[in-house]
Structure 1
């Protein structure tokens, strides 16, 4: 007879719960003391697991901060693939990224998280590389929408610039307006001699 704990569904739920507990423990410590002041061993002790177990789930300390990578990529692709029929692709991306920017600056936890990321060089670099890794998935989603080859250059350019608009916004004191400015330029171009509006 098969043990309940050996059932795939139960095992996956336990793994997900352990992963979540590790990430939450790490974030509590990072927000309290700063990323550089916390060791992997301390995180493992707080989560009551071995350091080896922690490293099996998160191969780097930076990865503990960004546990939602897969979920973000899925939501980014869905913003394009599942948009209402009367919404253009650039407008769907603008709305999605504006919403993310609003959450990053308005929620107490989200704003503390972004401050931690942007003021810690190792995290800032890791986050930017991680965020831009979504470029391939977004390029493929755009190519499907427009009936183009997966590596279509226009789709790749739109994916890259849309993602870069968000990284620019997170570093701006006016994050949400920056998204709109970036997408206005993406959609309508820049006229010679045009003065940017505040």
Structure 2
């Protein structure tokens, strides 16, 4: 059992959230490339040093929940109940991500990322990292070697499916379960 975070940890988390919120508001308003990190620091009322203590790059300001997102993805495999198979757990994860498409601001966020080449590249690297981590978790869960191509293929398809609309997510997982039956 973990103890609740102390004051210092809560203060650091609040500062990080304030920086990320200020950055996202500015980026959505003016576009990623039109905003400087200095402007983000000023809007969050922190120094540039503090900003870079929390975020290693301008791009990381946009994807501020990167580690949490990866933990949730891996948790779908590692933390699932014993009576839930890996495909069902991953389908549930992908569906929950697909359901987020209806949240306010989603389309604006996607448009902002799509308009900035550096954000697209950062996002691609981030999801490739998730894919590698997921492949290792799936292989471990199935008792396979870490580089087993079946685990890598499954991870690739699952990661590519995240963010798709719910019917597409379901169609992909139906194919994974039953193969191509047309």
TM-score greater than 0.5 by the shorter chain: yes
Does residue 185 (structure 1) correspond to residue 175 (structure 2)? The answer is yes
Quote the residue 2:113 is aligned against. Answer: 117
Quote the residue 1:16 is aligned against. Answer: 13
Does residue 97 (structure 1) correspond to residue 94 (structure 2)? The answer is yes
Bigger shift: 123-132 or 34-43?
123-132
Deviations 1:26-51 (A, max 9, x none): 00111111111111111011111122
Runs (4+) of structure 1 exceeding 3 A deviation are none
Correspondence list, 1:144-183, <5 A = 144-166=140-162, 169=164, 175-183=165-173
Q: Indicate the SS of the match to 2:82.
A: coil
Bigger shift: 141-150 or 24-33?
141-150
> C-alpha root-mean-square deviation of aligned residues, in Å?
2.0
CA apart distance, 1:109: 2.6
Deviations 1:11-66 (A, max 9, x none): 32222221111111000111111111111111011111122221222121110000
In 2, Cα distance between equivalents of 1:159 and 1:43: 35
Deviations 1:161-197 (A, max 9, x none): 2112226x2xxxxx22222222222332235xx4xxx
Structure 2: unaligned runs, 5 residues or longer: none
CA apart distance, 1:123: 1.6
Quote the residue 1:34 is aligned against. Answer: 31
Q: TM-score, normalised by structure 2?
A: 0.87
CA apart distance, 1:111: 3.2
* 1:137 counterpart (133, 137, 156): 133
Higher RCO (CA < 8 A, seq sep 6+) = 2
In 2, Cα distance between equivalents of 1:66 and 1:159: 21
* 1:87 counterpart (74, 84, 88): 84
Correspondence list, 1:1-80, <5 A = 9-80=6-77
Q: Specify the structure having the higher radius of gyration (Cα).
A: 1
CA apart distance, 1:87: 2.8
In 1, Cα distance between equivalents of 2:54 and 2:80: 33
In 1, Cα distance between equivalents of 2:62 and 2:12: 17
CA apart distance, 1:75: 0.8
Structure 1: unaligned runs, 5 residues or longer: 1-7, 170-174
CA apart distance, 1:72: 0.8
